[in-house]
Amino acid sequence: KKELDLVELRFNNKKNLTIVVNNLVAVLFTFVAFPRLEFSSSANERFNMLLPGHAWNQLAIVALIFNFPYLRKKTSVKLTYLFVVSWFLINGERADITGLVFGITIYILMKKSGQKDLGKILRAFLIFLFLFLFLVLLNSIATLRNGQEVTFLSEVKGLLTTPTTSDVGYLFNVAIDYEQCFGTLKGQLLKANLISAIPFTSPSGFNTFTEAVKYVNPGGEPILAMPIMDFGIKGIYFVSILDFLFFRIFVQYKNLFFKYEFILMLSSIPRMVWYGRSYTYNSILFFVPILFIVNYFIDKYRI
């Protein structure tokens, strides 16, 4: 029995070390991504990261996803979640936190969908209430970033006219107008997206091309902008096939690694829809595999 207890203790110590490493990664790269503590509506100020590249905020989210199984039991994980979420929101960054909340919520609902439970309706109502209040909070942050007064009634009303939706619609029209006025880019944006998946790189992308011809850019890259500007209307079909083939790889296997990839994909939807595919590529191809390998070696070889 003593030997079994010793084995269990060693296992718990390994797992605790893994949790600590993930917590440290989340906190560290929160500071790397947002080294200030202020509301700001300027993308240049909010994304003035301490390291070259553009997606270090996603690494913090990946680390939180890795520690999600321990959120209920570990106080350190709760505190890390609280800190990262608060720091992101105080810096006016909503897309990553929106994705994290909705991604984890969808994943939980998918797991529970086949289970019969008397409290299912109550839980669904509480989840709906939480998401509603969460959306109000996100909209309040957008209002504060614009220097306006926040009231609960105005924020509930503002959910129907969130400015980000307007920005995405505007930039989508910019992409169409660019293609009609200047022709296609013949794959330059696709190439830039693939290159930007590599950490420490920031190639010229959507913003560079649109601002070069004097389009006003509030920040972002709608998900359909790249295929339209690169290949015209046919690009939507072409890139849709590429997206399907690429993302299908990460949903057809049912092991721990691909579970992390799947949750990340769910969590990346707002970021990808508003800011383009490069954030998703970066996280899927580098951040999740690297952190998974680090966790694996800690669990396997820590004495």
From the number of C-beta atoms within 10 Å of its C-beta (0-12, 13-18, 19+), residue 12 rates as exposed
Nearest CA to 104 out of 219, 286, 264, 278 is that of 264
Query: Rounded distance, CA 103 to CA 106, Å?
Result: 5
Q: What is the pLDDT along the chain (303 residues), one digit of tens a residue?
A: 434 343 344 445 557 889 999 999 999 999 998 887 665 545 555 567 778 777 888 999 999 999 999 988 899 999 999 899 888 877 777 778 888 888 888 887 777 665 555 565 566 666 666 766 776 676 666 666 666 666 666 655 555 555 667 788 888 899 999 999 999 999 898 888 888 878 777 777 888 899 899 898 877 788 888 899 999 989 999 888 988 888 888 777 778 898 899 889 888 888 888 777 877 888 888 899 999 999 999 887 764
Structure tokens at 99: 């994705």
- Check if the beta carbon of residue 178 is closer than 8 Å to that of residue 215: yes
* Beta carbons within 8 Å of 186's beta carbon, 6+ residues apart: 230, 231
pTM above 0.85, yes or no: no
Tell the burial category of 287 from Cβ atoms under 10 Å away from its Cβ (0-12, 13-18, 19+): buried
Give the separation between CA 96 and CA 88, rounded to whole angstroms: 8
Query: How high is the pLDDT of residue 288?
Result: 93
Q: How many CB atoms lie within 10 A of CB 118?
A: 6
- For the chain, the domains span 1-101+284-303, 116-161, 162-248
Tokens of 278: 């490069």
